[in-house]
Copies of this chain bind each other. A is one copy, B any other.
Amino acid sequence: MAHRQDQQRRPSIHDVADRAGVSAATVSKVLSGVATVKQENARRVLDAVEHLGYRVDPLASDMRRARRRIIGAIVPEFESEFFGQMVTRLESLAEEHGYTLVAASSRESEAREKEILARMHDWRVAGVVLAPVRNEQGPAAWFMKANGMTGVLIDRVLSDEVFDTVSADSAAASAEVARELVGRGHRRILVVGLGVEAATVRARLDGFRTAALALAPDTRIDVVLAESDVEPLRARLRDYFGAWEGKGERPTAVYSLFLRGTLVVLSEFRRRGWHCPDDISLIGFDDAEWMQVTWPAIAAVVQPVNRIAEHAMAALFARIEGAQGPPAARLQPCRLLMRDSVGPPAGNTAAHEGRG
């Protein structure tokens, strides 16, 4: 009668112990599968658990151990398909290992990124999967190092001398894009990139440039850099294409290094009345569901989201379980999805002038 748990209070391990006529320690042993418990007692404990609907309180359970059964994930945003899928996959993997995933979005702010990390440190997470806003040199990664946290960096990152990194092989994918475009005869190509100092984005550009020039040294590559916001980018593109007005030789193909860039480029084409691939070819880094239904469908580099998530978690759990050795920098291959937006250069046969 001393313990009544039928009201609001959830049953605790002591309620189970009382009902089974054993001590709390024994209950704990049964539930954690320690062998040194009499059959009879184990049965009584399990009966009591069943009857009371007892479930371990993960918070209390984690109290005693230095690292809790929680994995933190930090992504720049939840809104994109890429990070949405990423978080989903990370969540599954964490659960499979008996961990709870706590995800947070840095909203493209390094300050916030560090704050979140500090909070996760407060939570004594066992490990963190960090997709940094900029690159591996940000304050967040620094914080993780300074506090001896266990973590893995993904996506906008190439390698690090403390943490394992996993990302898409941007350079290789870009080289393949170069092969496709140059191979079809394009010699004037516009690359739309992010102004951010992300190592990955730089790799996308360099990979493309190197491969294109190797295939055809006379290839002329223009680069327009912009922030990720729609409006400034739109303005810069307008200026860029405006400058070609009247002159004959504008680019015959555009390679956008990031998703929103592809979106804005496409809408600029529409504004000018240009059609792919007749007037100009378009290919983008990063795929999205809508790209199949635009007219025409847009060719794209598909990032191996799932494989990145899987390798990141594998590396993280290895470190959590004490794996030593130098940090590994892993690159996952992308898939190039050619669609109707890419064709041979427009001006090859007849002069093609879009009106601006």
Contacts and interface: CB of A to CB of B under 8 A. Distances in A.
Interface of A: 8-10, 55-60, 62-63, 66, 68, 77-81, 83-85, 87-88, 91, 100-105, 107, 118-119, 121-124, 148, 260, 263-264, 266-267, 270, 288-295
Contacts of A267: 292-293
A339 to B, nearest CB: 12
B122 A57 contact: yes
A85 B79 contact: yes
13 contacts: A55-B118, A57-B122, A58-B119, A59-B123, A59-B124, A60-B63, A77-B88, A78-B85, A88-B105, A100-B102, A100-B119, A100-B123, A290-B291
Given A102-B100, A293-B270, A148 B8 contact: yes
A308 to B, nearest CB: 15
Given A84-B77, A88-B77, A104-B91, A59 B68 contact: yes
A60 B68 CA distance: 12
A23 B68 CA distance: 27
A88 B116 CA distance: 14
B78 A84 contact: yes
B292 A58 contact: no
Contact of A78 (B59, B78, B119, B290): B78
A267 to B, nearest CB: 4
B8 A58 contact: no
Contacts of A81: 79
A73 to B, nearest CB: 10
Given A84-B78, A88-B107, A288-B290, A59 B55 contact: no
Contacts of A292: 263, 267
A63 B59 contact: yes
Contacts of A288: 290
Nearest to A53: B147
Residue in A85, A104, A119 whose Cβ sees the most chain B Cβ within 10 Å: A104
Contact of A290 (B104, B118, B290): B290
Residue in A55, A78, A119 whose Cβ sees the most chain B Cβ within 10 Å: A78
Contacts of A9: 66
A10 B105 CA distance: 25
B80 A84 contact: yes
A192 B6 CA distance: 49
Given A59-B123, A260-B289, A293-B294, 6 more contacts: A58-B122, A59-B59, A88-B105, A263-B292, A263-B293, A294-B295
The 8 tightest CB contacts between A and B, nearest first, are A290-B290, A79-B84, A267-B293, A78-B84, A266-B293, A78-B87, A78-B88, A295-B295
